[in-house]
Structure 1
Amino acid sequence: MRLRFGPAALVIAGALALAGCGGSDTGGSGGSGSGKAELSVGSAYMPQPVSDDMAAGFLTVTNKGGAADDLTSVTSDIAGQVTVHETVDGAMQEVKSLKIPAGGRLELKSGGDHLMFEQLKRKPKEGQTVSVELHFAHSDPVKVEMPVKPATYTPKTGH
């Protein structure tokens, strides 16, 4: 499925384009052996949604292990569904999974790969946190508390 940005999505995309990634590391999964993924999650945040039914989320998954893994799905109690998207040539496209390379990282950031929270059950406000659970092909799920930042948030650190 390939989605093109319409006028409403351009407003959201414009607000999100002003945002980056920042924050502290939380959570972890995997083992210390070189043959397993060793995942940690950091730089998580959600810009305060400008829409009543949709929001975006950003974070970084770091893999210090010797095996790759895949982010396969995300769940959250605030959304009817959370989908994983990549952005190619200005168009966001839902994907079934995103690779986390061995010894590498998966960066979900404004203008690139990201999470879409759809069918919001409540609209998160700046200062609140959103609980999400990341699911992987091989590693145990990781729970993350995602702080809600201003819609125009630009972190001082991160990628």
Structure 2
Amino acid sequence: MRLGFLLTGGDQHAAEDLVQHALAKLATRWRRVAAPEAYARQTMYRQQVSWWRTSTRRGEVVLADPPEAAARDLNHQSELRLVLRAALARLTARQRAVLVLRYFEDLPEQDVARALGCSVGTVRSTAHRSLARLREIAPELAQELAAVR
């Protein structure tokens, strides 16, 4: 569910649909699948890419609304998560997928390229541009990460 949530940019309903689709597909092939978790993850990656392709043809872009900044009593870690979630939602679908697979799922560039159906060079350049855009969108994340070091 966490992976689905990250891949969909924080859309709870789309994440649930993504997980449900992956589990339904896994159930039909259960006896032939050697690694069910890996199969479900791969199915989620591919289904999300498929949904992106169809949504770009329609010209539809779904963005999560940023949270209200009124509640300052939240702990600092939760605030950073919300900022990161909102910033990820403002990235393009491909940028978000590359960052999620590369840094949240900790996959090597070759596996990310294989999962998204592109070259390793595309993964590298997209990751570079995505991180630059993320720093631009949410500078408070860069400041917090520098303070932790």
Whether these two folds match at TM > 0.5 is: no
TM-score (norm 2): 0.23
Larger Rg: 2
Instruction: With a CA cutoff of 8 Å and minimum separation of 6, indicate the structure with the bigger relative contact order.
Output: 1
TM-score (norm 1): 0.22
Higher strand share: 1
Higher helix share: 2
